[in-house]
Structures are given as C-alpha cells and as structure tokens.
Amino acid sequence: MKKRFGILAGLVMVLILGACEYETIVPKQVVLPDEPVKFSTQIAPMFDEAGCTACHAGATNPDLRPDKAYESLVNGGYLNIVVPDDSKLIKKINSNHGTASNLSAEQKALLLKWIKEGAKNN
C-alpha cells in the first residue's frame, strides 16, 4: 500500500514537472502587415490621438501636431535611422513619459517600423 502511494506520488510529480517544462512565457508580439508604414495616415495622427499634443504643440519640442510632426522629428534629431531602437522618440514612448501609455503596442511597433523603413514623409 505504502509502495503504491509512493509510485502514485512519483507519477504525480512527473506530471507536474512535465507540465512546467512546457510552460513557456510568450512575449506580447505585434504582427504588422508587410506593406510600408504610411506617415500621413498612420503616424501623423497618432500623437494627437495619444494626447502628446497637449504639451507638444509648438512650445515644447518636438512639435507633434499632425502638420508639424514630420519636420520636427526629422530635423530635431529625434530619430535614429541607423539604430532605430536608439531613437529619442522610441525611448520616450517606451518610458512612462507624458501620455505614452495611451499608445498601443501596435502603435509603438508602427513607429519603430516607420523609422526602420527610413522615416519617409509618405
């Protein structure tokens, strides 16, 4: 009887450990379509929607109003085309700066993809 219990307990342990082995943490991934990101429709309105323009509307750089954002981001050195992840803009949206938490994971991924594609004014 005792021996059987031991075997049973052993089996249960194997099952539990086995279950743990297959438990993997799946990182939150965003799958974006292959086509290039379009600044005018996908990026420019984003900052207004996320509330960035409550502060970034001229007085505080970068100016993120839809009609000013491109020039301000490119000329102000907020984008790093060579090392996109190192862009000041990307670092800011991934910190708890301002209203950055209003940006969805997809929007953040779009911003990074846009810079990786050369930050085009398309």
Contact window for ligand HEC (CB under 6 A) among 22-30, 35-43, 98-106, 112-120: 98-106
Q: Cα–Cα distance between 122 and 85 in angstroms, integer?
A: 21
Burial class (CB in 10 A: 0-12, 13-18, 19+), 17: exposed
Place of tokens 């000329």: 75
Q: How many residues bind ligand HEC (CB under 6 A)?
A: 19
Stretch 31-70: interaction string toward ligand HEC, x if CB under 6 A = ----------------x--xxx-xxx---x-x--------
Please report whether residue 79 would count as binding ligand HEC according to CB under 6 A.
Answer: no
* Structure-token pair, residue 102: 């209003």
Q: How far is the CB of 62 from ligand HEC (least distance, A)?
A: 5
